[in-house]
Structure 1
Amino acid sequence: MTTTSLGGDGVTSRERTAAQQPDWQAPDAVARVRAELGARHPLVDAAACHALRGELRAASRGQAFVIQGGDCAEPFADATADRMQAKAALLEDLADLFEGHTGLPVVRVGRFAGQYAKPRSSPVETLPDGAVVPAFRGEAVNGFDLAEREPDVRRLLAAYDHAAAGLDALFLNRFLPLACDGPFVQTYVSHEALLMDFEQPLVRPDWYAGGHYASSAHFLWIGDRTRQPDGAHVHFARSITNPVGLKVGPTMTAPEITALVTGLARGEGKLTLIARMGAEQVVPKLTELIAALGPMAGSVVWMCDPMHGNTRKTAAGQKTRLLADVLTEVGGFVGVLRGHGLRPGGLHLEMTPDPVAECLARPEDLVRTEPLAPYTSLCDPRLDRGQAEAVVRYAAELISPGGNRR
């Protein structure tokens, strides 16, 4: 689809192609929903977004480390006090674990209170009986149950309502204290900036720094499927004052990453590159892209997403990830960054506080033919608490003074 977006001065730009957008099949309803979102209060405050940028600035200098984590596809039903606080508590525990090993303060970024939409490799899913249905794109678009697979733009209003409820349940409310140079104790929320019909109407004037900011979350990232340098998502990220992330996968080329960083890295703390290469690709591909960036490689925060490049299937055909692959990618990421004189800045994890059995330990575990259970993710497999702790502990050992495990 094509979409218009606000420039840095709030002026509507020319239409640009937006990948991975639902076919809402109801133009009048889309206009009504966008107008309704445009009239609602901001979910987060501009000052808090700039506070996060200050903490990311510290991470880019090696003075802090980011742990960002949460669900692959967040269900609306989790916007309750017990569920949100359980997720935040896991994030807090991982931060304490890392800080205890390294002495570095941790920037806490939740992948929750808004992670309601997912890009998909195909717009449709073929069922075992041969029937073809729309793919599940997250509850902001359609339902996981087969009877609810038709995209419904009214779900964007429900996404706003549940994000607001999630923030309230976390006791974050909508306005967080400004502490750009203060202690690293604040929790921030994030999600993929995927649905332009949701993100654009929630852009608000930035009373703190001028320009306009995205009021849907403190930190937004652009996925590997929507990072076209001249596309609507990149233009949107460039036009807002929030700190933004960019997923960097193994198909990224040297000219692409150079163009993207040139356009998006506007001052320290603005851009975070989230590498998601896979265990086998992380060393050669990351080496290639860092070399292409040259001095620009030092102008961003470098994070490792060791999840998305390591999806496998069991003998039963169920999606999983191997902890061994995740650890290998983390080790490769840290080694390449340090080899180029750069600072590893963070981890981006799909994880849950629940006792799930979605990720396995080693390659030999893939031969199992019985279904993994409990398996409650709406989309991709997540680390359980113990596995997430293992990943964070390993990263901390690598990054600690004198740490050299590979």
Structure 2
Amino acid sequence: MSEKLKTITPAKGWRPDSWQQKEASQQASYPDELAFRKALQRLSAMPPLVTSWEILSLKNQIAEAQAGKRFVLQGGDCAELFDECEPTIIANRLKVLLQMSLVLLHGMERPVVRIGRFAGQYAKPRSADMETRDGATLPSYRGDLVNAPEFTEAARTPDPDRMLRGHASSAMTMNFVRALVDGGFADLHHPEYWNLGWLEHSPLEKEFERIADSIGHSVRFMETVTGMKPGSLRRVDFFTSHEALHLHYEQALTRRVPRQWGWFNLSTHFPWIGMRTADLDGAHVEMFRGIRNPMGIKIGPGMSASWLKNLIRTLNPDNEAGRLVLIHRMGASQVADKLPPLIEAVSATGSPVLWICDPMHGNTEKTESGYKTRRFANIVSEVEQAFDIHATCGSRLGGVHLELTGENVTECIGGARDLDEQDLGRAYKTTVDPRLNYEQALELSMRIVGKHRSLS
């Protein structure tokens, strides 16, 4: 049921700053309080990064995905870097997501909702506030929105002006993405233009070329038969997302808008809450409770059925379609045991939700040489198991959430080129978590299609 037909109750007793009355975890401690307040004041006066109508459009598309009419592809960097706010990197991120969505669209025969983990993914949760190396202890790196990764006192001291740089970098990224999309970069008539240079050397080259040719021919045939105007399929919708971790930053960009009721977080289309900040009584849940954005909740193996049911009741008391996305991240070895009871618990709430699988975070390991990595085989296994589990439980897996890059990195083991531990040092560039490279990401999309077809 659409928002126009269903009465949605504004969150009672909520204000953009009501989260400050709750315990807030994973927050930076700024030594210069005056500079911090000045930065927040400047940020609060800056233009929003997204619009309310884009947010509501995404919510409608998520509602359709909840009904099985769309599939969600969410992907991008584990943590963006200010220094990587440059056109080639941004274009390659967009290209790899477009390529993956093309494979999914062709193989699953349904529209794909494209959500980038970028234009704001600048803050990261950490397991400890401080880090010690060689006897020296400094604040942990919390993402470029807060401090810098270099292990020096100057780099690790939280700097409030980084929030302003984060806003500027997000705006530049989103502006370039919009310009590419509106300028025909994602033209469905010519999907071959989306190719990255690597494709001619890839074992997957022929399969992707076949899919691209098929889509191009289908689009042109449909226009001929229906009489649709040329160019009507030149663009696609593209949305942004990030973990809404830094609450002062999120509050500064939470606004009212003309001709709409309630409050929107205008820092992103789709914010999510991580497992470390999903405390029912915590500040992050309070912040999310009052915004109208669709939102994600990360669900790990430590999530209980009662905890999840209470989160759903708190964040979606009116059972609003399109509002909640549950992103499970169990790990290949635990998903079969941990996921089914949660699916049953959510079904009992009666709330419409979209289940999507994050096969990255539950499969992280460290090699003997000290590299954090993920095995492609485990990533594929968790996704394929998730499809089976949802089908068995009478549910539906409606999307995937991936950490990936359009660059030629070697951070995850396996895939078509069978990368091993010795390959990791060749192009290991991440500052936080290992990402799928462009080839592994495309291969995964093909494996998803294969699994979907086996269940159809």
CA displacement at 1:367 relative to structure 2? 8.4
Give RMSD over aligned pairs: 2.3
Q: Distance in 2 between matches of 1:355 and 1:11?
A: 41
Residues 34 and 197, structure 1, Cα contact 8 Å, conserved in 2 = yes
The amino acid that maps onto 1:143 is: A
Count of equivalent residues = 388
3-state DSSP of counterpart to 1:170: helix
Alignment CA distance shift 1:119-1:193 (3 Å): same
Partner of 2:113: 107
Kindly indicate whether residue 240 of structure 2 is the aligned counterpart of residue 189 of structure 1: yes
Q: Distance in 1 between matches of 2:425 and 2:340?
A: 36
Partner of 1:207: 258
Partner of 2:288: 237
Q: For structure 1, list consecutive stretches of 5 or more residues without a partner in the other structure.
A: 1-5, 176-181
Which of 89, 93, 110 is matched with 1:83 structurally?
Answer: 89
Partner of 1:178: none
Residues 123 and 134, structure 1, Cα contact 8 Å, conserved in 2 = yes
Partner of 1:403: 455
1:89-110 per-residue CA deviation (whole Å, 9 max, x = no partner) reads 1111100011111111100000
Residues 279 and 328, structure 1, Cα contact 8 Å, conserved in 2 = yes
1:87-140 per-residue CA deviation (whole Å, 9 max, x = no partner) reads 11111110001111111110000001110010011122222x232222111100
Partner of 1:151: 158
Which of 361, 364, 380 is matched with 1:327 structurally?
Answer: 380
Q: For structure 2, list consecutive stretches of 5 or more residues without a partner in the other structure.
A: 1-10, 183-231
Kindly indicate whether residue 17 of structure 2 is the aligned counterpart of residue 19 of structure 1: no
Residues 22 and 151, structure 1, Cα contact 8 Å, conserved in 2 = yes
Which of 383, 391, 394 is matched with 1:341 structurally?
Answer: 394
The amino acid that maps onto 2:34 is: D
The amino acid that maps onto 1:132 is: T
Which of 138, 142, 146 is matched with 1:137 structurally?
Answer: 142
Kindly indicate whether residue 42 of structure 2 is the aligned counterpart of residue 42 of structure 1: no
1:300-340 per-residue CA deviation (whole Å, 9 max, x = no partner) reads 01010000010011121210000011011101211111111
Give the 4+ runs in structure 1 shifted more than 4 A: 6-12, 365-371
Q: Distance in 2 between matches of 1:49 and 1:346?
A: 18
The 5 A counterparts of 1:44-83 are: 44-83=50-89
Residues 277 and 309, structure 1, Cα contact 8 Å, conserved in 2 = yes
Q: Distance in 2 between matches of 1:387 and 1:71?
A: 14
Which of 114, 122, 125 is matched with 1:116 structurally?
Answer: 122
Q: Distance in 1 between matches of 2:324 and 2:16?
A: 23
CA displacement at 1:26 relative to structure 2? 2.2
Residues 113 and 237, structure 2, Cα contact 8 Å, conserved in 1 = yes
Q: Please say which of residues 290-299 and 52-61 is displaced more in the overlay.
A: 290-299
Q: Please say which of residues 329-338 and 291-300 is displaced more in the overlay.
A: 291-300
The amino acid that maps onto 1:287 is: P
**Which protein shows a greater Rg?**
2
Q: Distance in 1 between matches of 2:100 and 2:245?
A: 27
Q: Percent identity?
A: 38
* TM-score after normalising by structure 1: 0.90
Q: Distance in 2 between matches of 1:79 and 1:288?
A: 42
1:162-200 per-residue CA deviation (whole Å, 9 max, x = no partner) reads 111111111269x9xxxxxx9992000110000011000
3-state DSSP of counterpart to 1:91: helix
Residues 65 and 346, structure 1, Cα contact 8 Å, conserved in 2 = yes
Q: Of Structure 1 and Structure 2, which has the larger fraction of its residues in helix?
A: 2
3-state DSSP of counterpart to 1:387: helix
Partner of 1:93: 99
Residues 411 and 424, structure 2, Cα contact 8 Å, conserved in 1 = no
The amino acid that maps onto 1:117 is: A
3-state DSSP of counterpart to 2:362: coil
